[in-house]
Structure 1
């Protein structure tokens, strides 16, 4: 099956988790400078030309009869543009807030499972002739690192400092496999999975033992999901609706916040991102007269790829660590210290577990798993217990220099991941050149004023620096041709 690939249990899990109220797609938003190339027809033509460099965008999910194993991905021979490309006009002088509202609407509908799981939306009508391209791709096909690699494959760059494009596919598509072929290969792959079971048990045992040893020796503690997560108004059953907001902060200001706290040993830029998110949430909770019984917890996706391997163009290889946001601590320095120490321990625990827990998803039975998730969603089960954690906070490095997409200059880029049941807020950070873009996705039936929460991030940063909020932080910075480094979790 040269053009047919079995999905891993972890990738397929994002399909099983999807319900009418929990959409498992991610968004990538590119803002392009004015250009004669910024037309709907040109977008279709340029992207269609590069589909071989974007394997997930040619592959359609095909279920195995009787759900005997995880689905397969079949490479299609052709792509129907009408099923994937969409055109919007915000209205000539549309503001960024107008675009954010449209993005929320785009995010509020699930992807069509009968075609490859992606859409591209061209949004015209921004000030100064700029346009936005909103890419919508299912998490089952790509995590943040794979999406970053795909973005690199559609960029036009000349600098030798930028990683070259990843190899694309060389083969053509195929017709859908027959039911008999799918069943035979499902049973064959299932037998291979069973043979791998002893190794998985051994790896899990070693990982769990290493975690217990580390926990006994460490100074402090790492919070436990569900048990240590307080209830908040934005933790509860999701509806299908989504809202979106952004705030842009200069990378130099985030680095200045780190440099201003030399008394915190091992402080990273990612700790500062968590600290800024914590400060903004504290202000939002205070404004809404909410007083959780303990600190909010964050789920932080962490890539497991080795640095020396060729970047992936598809699939997921991530784990999640759980850390405190220290929202119960008034002093911003002590809050940041607690976040830094706890996150360092959480990373160490995560490294000891490795991919063991993720590998167990390979043995998840497709039909019962999906049925259980749908039943939980219909029953609004998130009402009955605290969420696993309170918010998702992700930090992914983006392009470090100016690039072009389909011949047009990339002015800015934003990204955000999905919400999961019980967790109504996702904060995703992507850098571009010399600034970092915080993108917030929320369920408005749980968190109705996500734009007001986003507006609090500059004040939270100023609090960490120990200075009054700079006026220039209230507006996005003007990007320039400078190279900036970024640390990730």
Structure 2
């Protein structure tokens, strides 16, 4: 792979980053190390990981800025790549349980990554004992959003995971990468060409954009538009964030979710969003701060199958949806959610898959970065109407067990970034019959996310009870 320019959308995640608004995605992987052939040792883990990541450019490339920020940065091969810059070993103090693990993961999530090196880290955490009393191997991962979205992140994991403890990884092909590092003059020239040619793309973008506006107005008149941003009620987690993070994880039974799906005809995504709405409702009721109107969530949507653009790691769009936190009855909430999501999906499908990526090309590195810092410094998120309350992602995972370096994956809890104005992120992933729930929050916005996570299985149980007679 020759030197590669970041797409505007990928680069935007770099520009959006501040010491408080960190743009990496994380995961907590809890594994049974007794399945490792020959037994687990950190030395073997390190050697195997080093061998596998060197085959994949995404693990061994770093960001290089264009002189004077005339264009988006480029990916170049890291000539000084060393696994010890990215893999760290640590241990929890004994006796170590779930609370201690979450505290350590929250601390790690709040640490920025070194942009002078490839933008990923793995922290091997030893000494954690699960609910069964057995010691588990935990790996806390961080990858910058400029490098991956949900789908591309899953592809990278396939180079590290296998279907059997002693089997080769799911992806074994080696991706070549040209070691040539471009000179500053070449980057400067490319930046000038990119800057001068960028306005030429405006005319072809105006037509679909104007069409989107017309479509939105028409749908709003007929009541079939997705929920608009800037209409969310304010809660305790909607304001300016700090760099400190809290984390909580939990599980739900996938078969229970499927039972609700069979009984109601709702999609898994509808059910997950409805459960999240119920859990948030209960959490806010406990704090005596439930708004009269429903919370509004941003839901990332993959457009990888529809996008016409080849470049870039991130191929995503987003839709807005109300979570029904103003509806007490779980089944009534799901019914309303299913109808609203149908309109939101239809509205979203009327938008070009590449619209967000096309407009992101106009993100000016210096201007964008200064604007984000000014926004945070002036605490504007505390003053203007709330754009959205939080981000919720639903990621389909493997229906069968996976093995990471030979260790069986018992839990994989993904965690997305949080933003000024939306200090909580919920990500749900299905894995081998279990639905894993990961919540990450700004510590000042939500000090005890475990109280929110605890309501997810409770809400699913209430929903299943209501539909059981029809199931």
What TM-score comes out, normalization by structure 1 length?
0.88
Classify the secondary structure of the residue corresponding to 2:100.
Answer: helix
CA distance in 2 between counterparts of 1:428 and 1:20 reads: 22
Q: Is 1:251–2:257 an aligned residue pair?
A: no
Q: Deviations over 1:67-95 (max 9, x none)?
A: 11111111223412332111110135422
Comparing 419-428 and 85-94, the one that deviates more: 85-94
Q: CA deviation at 1:253?
A: 0.9
2:344 paired residue number: 346
CA distance in 2 between counterparts of 1:322 and 1:358 reads: 18
CA distance in 2 between counterparts of 1:365 and 1:121 reads: 34
1:195 paired residue number: 200
Q: CA deviation at 1:195?
A: 3.2
2:87 paired residue number: 85
Residues 1:230 and 1:326: Cα distance change in structure 2 (over 3 Å): same
Q: What is the correspondence of 1:51-450 to structure 2 with a 5 Å cutoff?
A: 51-127=53-129, 128-157=134-163, 165=171, 167-175=173-181, 177-217=182-222, 219-226=223-230, 228-261=231-264, 267-306=266-305, 315-354=313-352, 355-450=354-449
User: What is the RMSD computed on CA atoms of the aligned residues?
Assistant: 2.6
Q: Deviations over 1:38-75 (max 9, x none)?
A: 33322321122112443221111111111111111112
Classify the secondary structure of the residue corresponding to 1:278.
Answer: helix
| Residue pair 1:211, 1:353 contacting (<8 A) in 2 also | no
CA distance in 2 between counterparts of 1:123 and 1:434 reads: 25
Q: CA deviation at 1:392?
A: 0.9
Residues 1:457 and 1:196: Cα distance change in structure 2 (over 3 Å): same
Comparing 76-85 and 114-123, the one that deviates more: 76-85
Q: Deviations over 1:19-40 (max 9, x none)?
A: 1110000012222212455333
CA distance in 2 between counterparts of 1:298 and 1:80 reads: 40
Classify the secondary structure of the residue corresponding to 1:124.
Answer: strand
CA distance in 1 between counterparts of 2:16 and 2:298 reads: 17
Q: CA deviation at 1:314?
A: 6.6
1:484 paired residue number: none
| Residue pair 1:26, 1:138 contacting (<8 A) in 2 also | yes
| Residue pair 1:3, 1:75 contacting (<8 A) in 2 also | no
Residues 1:261 and 1:211: Cα distance change in structure 2 (over 3 Å): same
| Residue pair 2:122, 2:141 contacting (<8 A) in 1 also | yes
Q: Deviations over 1:318-349 (max 9, x none)?
A: 01100000111222222111111111111111
Q: CA deviation at 1:220?
A: 4.7
* Partner of residue 50 from structure 1, selected from 40, 49, 52: 52
Classify the secondary structure of the residue corresponding to 1:274.
Answer: helix
Comparing 299-308 and 177-186, the one that deviates more: 299-308
CA distance in 1 between counterparts of 2:204 and 2:40 reads: 52
CA distance in 1 between counterparts of 2:122 and 2:39 reads: 16
For structure 2, which runs of at least 5 residues remain unmatched after alignment?
Answer: none
Classify the secondary structure of the residue corresponding to 2:387.
Answer: coil
Residues 1:37 and 1:47: Cα distance change in structure 2 (over 3 Å): farther
CA distance in 2 between counterparts of 1:109 and 1:52 reads: 25
Q: CA deviation at 1:467?
A: 5.8
Q: Deviations over 1:165-212 (max 9, x none)?
A: 28542135334x322111011122334433333222223233333444
Classify the secondary structure of the residue corresponding to 1:412.
Answer: strand
2:454 paired residue number: 455
CA distance in 1 between counterparts of 2:244 and 2:97 reads: 21
| Count of residue pairs brought into register by the alignment | 458
Q: Deviations over 1:288-342 (max 9, x none)?
A: 0113131101110000011899xx9971000110000011122222211111111
Classify the secondary structure of the residue corresponding to 1:466.
Answer: helix
Residues 1:308 and 1:3: Cα distance change in structure 2 (over 3 Å): closer
Classify the secondary structure of the residue corresponding to 1:122.
Answer: strand
Q: What is the correspondence of 1:466-485 to structure 2 with a 5 Å cutoff?
A: 466=465
CA distance in 1 between counterparts of 2:279 and 2:239 reads: 20
| Residue pair 1:252, 1:434 contacting (<8 A) in 2 also | yes
CA distance in 2 between counterparts of 1:370 and 1:146 reads: 25
